[in-house]
Chain A
Amino acid sequence: MSELTLRPRETPQLPAVDLSTTLAGVRFPNPVFTASGCAAAGQELDQFFDVTAIGGVVTKSIMLAARSGRATPRMAETPSGMLNSIGLQGPGIEAFLDKDLSWLAGRGARAVVSIAGGSVEDYAKLAMKLRGRPGLSMVEVNISCPNVEDRGQVFACDPAAAAAVVSAVRRNTDKGVPVFAKLSPDVTDIALIARSVVDAGADGLSVINTLLGMAIDTTTMRPVLGGVTGGLSGPAIRPIAVRCVWQCHAALPDVPILGMGGIRTGLDALEFLLAGASAVSVGTTVFGDPTAPVRVLHELAHALAERGIDRLSDIVGLAHQPAQKYVPQDPDPVGDDLPEES
């Protein structure tokens, strides 16, 4: 019984690894962020861990006006995942700025504000509203929410539409505040969309949003979700997410990527960094473990230390390099004598 302990609220001591990461010129002390739609605007999770201890808080996508979202049931648990059909419920940008962003700024958290709209004009207006706001570190453009009534309006499925949105946001966003486009995996060639948004001015990519999915209740013999279809997230989609990060990094090696999709442990986070992400978001895992972001950060730091990696930035995209360049023929099990990248 003596092992019973309260989970510490303070971040435990991290090993001596330089965890800092730079996303389009903005430096973050470490690479673990929350994921949009899985952390509200940080206040609830701040009860469980210090939200200033992680890289940043990515807020739930905010729209111009208040939005009720979809009918319940909004959630179905699936093997190693879940479907959600929330439908972008939120208070609207004005209430968000007053209550949520100001709280994050006052708390000293690094806020990544996710925005969503129904038209290019909506996105442009949202970007303008965010100009000059203290606490804003980045803007994430959600062009890929699957929970919209009109699937034709998922901008991320069309390179031209995606580019138009991103270009409007970039034009209306403060210099020095990176704009990241959040991509959908539900496309034939994600690298094509990635190129298109980068050409339109995106400073980086958030990869990936949920996949469109569905579940049917075999007792009622009807769809489980009120919204019929929903977004699939959780570890079930992690291999897809890793593949998408890999493809985007291969196509655009100089474009920073915020990777996400089913990250549950520090080793999962490491997998994304090796695929080419410079930072990661921990999303669905938070629902089952509200302290997951700091736990993942801690586990990642130890995983890097165990592999003799002093600097996180050295291993971003490492899996794209030929194996022999970095991994000894017969790796020392202690793993503390790996050659350092010059």
Chain B
Amino acid sequence: MPVQVQGEVLSIRKVGAYNAMTVVAPGIAELTKPGHFVALQVGGPESSMLLRRAFAIYDVKERGVYGGTVEFVFSVHGKGTAWLATRRPQDKVDVVGPLGKPFRLPTQPVNATLVGGGYGSAPLLPLANALRERGSRVDFVLGAGSADRLFGTLDAKRIGSSLSVTTDDGSAGERGRVSDVLPDVLDRTRADVVYACGPMAMLRAVHDLAAARGIPSQVAVEESMACGVGVCMTCVLPVVGDDGISRMVRSCVEGPVFLGERVRWDDVGTVPEDVLGAPVSTGGGH
């Protein structure tokens, strides 16, 4: 069950183009599993920004010197994240977490390929540790626009059996997209399962490549959220349920991790006609 905590910034550091923030947030670390996320208030008590910002959890420590800590990675791309980037140790931040459904772990040792786009690699690193602890093999494919937008390559090299890197501009690894190198990795490692986190277009490409080989995938999506706790209904996408019926589901509580085969990739951003309760396109009704 998530908790709302008045946390305190322990540290904030620049990692390439990103920021990694560690917050003392008692009660969250103990409950966190790989794939969970936290949602933070931004702008202070008189802020004109009302909505929470959601970030995948990168690392937790259950018993730091000051109590449990949570670390997450973010990129500045608006006023809210710009405010967050100016926080300093001992500043207060209001944190809710852990939120969402985490990655599901296989019961048997498997060969797992983990694909991260940009700082989407952050939740994959604790996932890799959890997989390794269960005797699984882990191979990484990390991609970004440029070298400074890669995150966690050192960790990935340490934890994984192999690491493939791509950048759009060729400033690190191979020039290109993760989808350019993924087929080779899947074939070479005889992958049993693929885990991915990153932009929607990348997730789709990863799912398609895995599915073409009959390999199941789990993807952590990034839909924009207002609350993160399941009450605002803004972060929906069309997903097929266990009963075969498609619904507009909330990525904050039913996700952010979905089985790749269940996401209606062609229809993300729309309301397909066959989802439960879709408008009848005969006009008049609403």
Contacts and interface: CB of A to CB of B under 8 A. Distances in A.
Contact of B24 (A1, A67, A91, A290): A1
Interface stretch (B101-109, B179-187, B231-239): B231-239
B48 A92 contact: no
Nearest to A226: B269
A80 interface: yes
A72 B66 CA distance: 41
Contacts, number: 142
Contacts of B1: 47
A118 interface: yes
Interface string A222-239: 000010000000110000
B230 A66 contact: no
A40 B275 CA distance: 20
Interface stretch (A81-89, A206-214, A270-278, A318-326): A81-89
A289 interface: yes
A92 B277 contact: yes
Interface in B250-286: 253, 269-271, 275-279, 285-286
Interface range on chain A (Cβ under 8 Å from partner): 35 or more
B161 interface: no
Given A71-B271, A72-B236, A149-B279, A288 B26 contact: no
Contact of A86 (B6, B66, B233): B233
Contacts of A91: 277
Interface in A250-280: none
A72 B276 contact: no
B271 A69 contact: yes
Contacts of A226: 269
A30 interface: no
A106 B145 CA distance: 52
Contact of A6 (B8, B27, B224): B27
Contacts of A38: 231-232
Contacts of A69: 233, 236, 248, 271, 277
Interface stretch (B49-57, B162-170, B188-196): B49-57
A79 B48 contact: yes
A68 B230 contact: no
Interface string B220-234: 000110110111111
B217 interface: no
B181 to A, nearest CB: 30
Contacts of B232: 38, 75, 84, 86, 287
A287 B227 contact: yes
A74 interface: yes
A84 B234 contact: yes
B120 to A, nearest CB: 19
Given A288-B51, A288-B52, A289-B41, A1 B8 contact: yes
Contact of B50 (A66, A68, A150, A234): A234
A28 interface: no
Nearest to B245: A66
A287 B226 contact: yes
A72 B223 contact: yes
B224 A75 contact: yes
B229 A288 contact: no
Given A4-B6, A290-B229, A68 B224 contact: no
Given A40-B231, A291-B4, A285 B50 contact: yes
B50 A4 contact: no
Contacts of B8: 1, 4
B247 to A, nearest CB: 8
A7 B50 contact: no
A89 B250 CA distance: 11
A286 interface: yes
A284 B24 CA distance: 27
Contacts of A77: 49-51, 80, 226
Contact of B66 (A1, A45, A68, A286): A1
B4 A86 contact: no
Interface string A32-60: 00000111100011011000000000001
Nearest to A75: B234
Contacts of A288: 41, 50-52, 227
A133 to B, nearest CB: 22
Q: Which 8 A-B pairs have the closest CB atoms?
A: A66-B277, A75-B234, A287-B227, A67-B277, A44-B230, A68-B277, A149-B286, A74-B234
22 contacts: A4-B5, A4-B7, A4-B24, A4-B26, A6-B3, A6-B5, A6-B27, A38-B232, A40-B230, A48-B2, A48-B4, A48-B229, A68-B276, A69-B233, A69-B248, A71-B271, A75-B234, A84-B226, A86-B232, A89-B233, A89-B236, A89-B277
Given A72-B235, A288-B50, 13 more contacts: A48-B96, A68-B271, A72-B223, A72-B237, A75-B226, A77-B226, A82-B226, A86-B232, A90-B277, A287-B52, A289-B4, A289-B41, A291-B4
